Amino acid sequence: MTDTISRKNFLKLGSAFAVSSMWFPSLILPKKRDKLGVALVGLGNYSTGRLAPGLQKTDHCELRGIVTGTPSKIPEWQEQYGIPDRNVYNYENMHEIANNDDIDIIYSVTPPGKHARDSIAGAEAGKHVWCEKPMAMDLDECQAIVDAAEKNRVHLSMGHRMHHEPNTQTLIRYGREQTYGAVREVSCGAGFRGSWPENDWRLTAALGGGALYDMGVYPINAARHMTGKEPVAVTGKQRADRTEMFREVDEYTEFELEFPDGIFARCETSFGDSMNYLEVTCTDGWYRLQPFQSYTRVQGETSSGTELPEDPDHQQARQMNNEALAIKEGRSAVVPGQDGLEDIRIVRAIMESAQNGGSRVEL
């Protein structure tokens, strides 16, 4: 698929989606019950280590089903979480979930290259869709997910857990209210040093591998929401030092986002080095988070001496709880699908810039 959505058309789509994402009586609402049923689609490390445990802590949703291409994982999941045979699916028969009233929501947690396949299948089955970041491979795939949700009148939200994290919410509020004056610059980095076997999705371009897709969306999304604006141009450079491992994808990406009013975000992401910071410089002060995108211990400070202590709660549990409550109450998603589409628009522009020697790419 190709990226065929211009900035002008994107803005039109954004306006249309802002209307369509609001609740209307035609939206499919779940039957009245205390908790909505969630099926995790993909049983990798994130589902195993964060989402399934998080669903044991939620008030408005619970784990009721699984979709996996690895049969050997099924018995352990069934035993640990009490999942009946009728709520176990694979990718070939996932469409049959349409006939299962136990399941209200599917959560796409497969590699990014499979998100469009799984999210669209869930929407076509009449189930609400949670899609892990990054949303998909390109703008066409992202738009196809949005279209499928709208067509089938189901909720669509992105798994951007940081939007549910209190300190991140505080920094967004600082920017919106200009607590420290107007935002002038954002500096942000997200990455870690990783090593994987040759067939791992993080090393495979067709599956959405590479530092930019996996970790780069954190600084991209943070810059957008810290400024409250959309960038008008980007520049980017990509490289790999461990070329024997990173043959198809980037190990490092550095990029700059240019926003209206002369605001810049200077960002970096990596699979080769650890980096985990967010700094916002304003006309009358500054504020920062470090770490800013970890599963725990997100904390920070401001130029006025305000401490932003770490939040002890489970980020993914809060994320899923908030999005389930939005469904139950017929409200817009906290992080709608259009937000994920915008991230990918920028990812693709950074890649275009890097492929052309770091040239400026207008959005």
Cβ(167)–Cβ(311) below 8 Å = yes
Q: How far apart are CA 285 and CA 298, in angstroms?
A: 21
pLDDT value at position 21?
A: 36
Average pLDDT by consecutive 10-residue portion of the chain (363 residues)?
A: 39 36 42 85 98 98 98 98 98 98 98 98 98 98 98 98 98 98 98 96 97 98 98 98 97 98 98 98 98 97 98 96 98 97 98 98 98
**Non-local CB neighbours of 177 within 8 Å, separated by 6+ positions:** none
Sign, CA torsion 314/54/270/225: negative
pLDDT value at position 32?
A: 53
- The CATH number that domain 166-310+346-362 falls under is 3.30.360.10
pLDDT tens for each residue of 89-119? 999 999 999 999 999 999 999 999 999 999 9
The reply to whether CATH 3.40.50.720 applies to domain 24-161 is: yes
Query: Residue 26 carries which DSSP code?
Result: T
- What are the extents of the domains in the chain? 24-161, 166-310+346-362
pLDDT value at position 33?
A: 65
Q: Transcribe 187-256 into DSSP letters.
A: EEEEE------TT-GGG-GGGT-SHIIIIIHHHHHHHHHHHTS--SEEEEEEE-S-TTT-SSS-SEEEEE
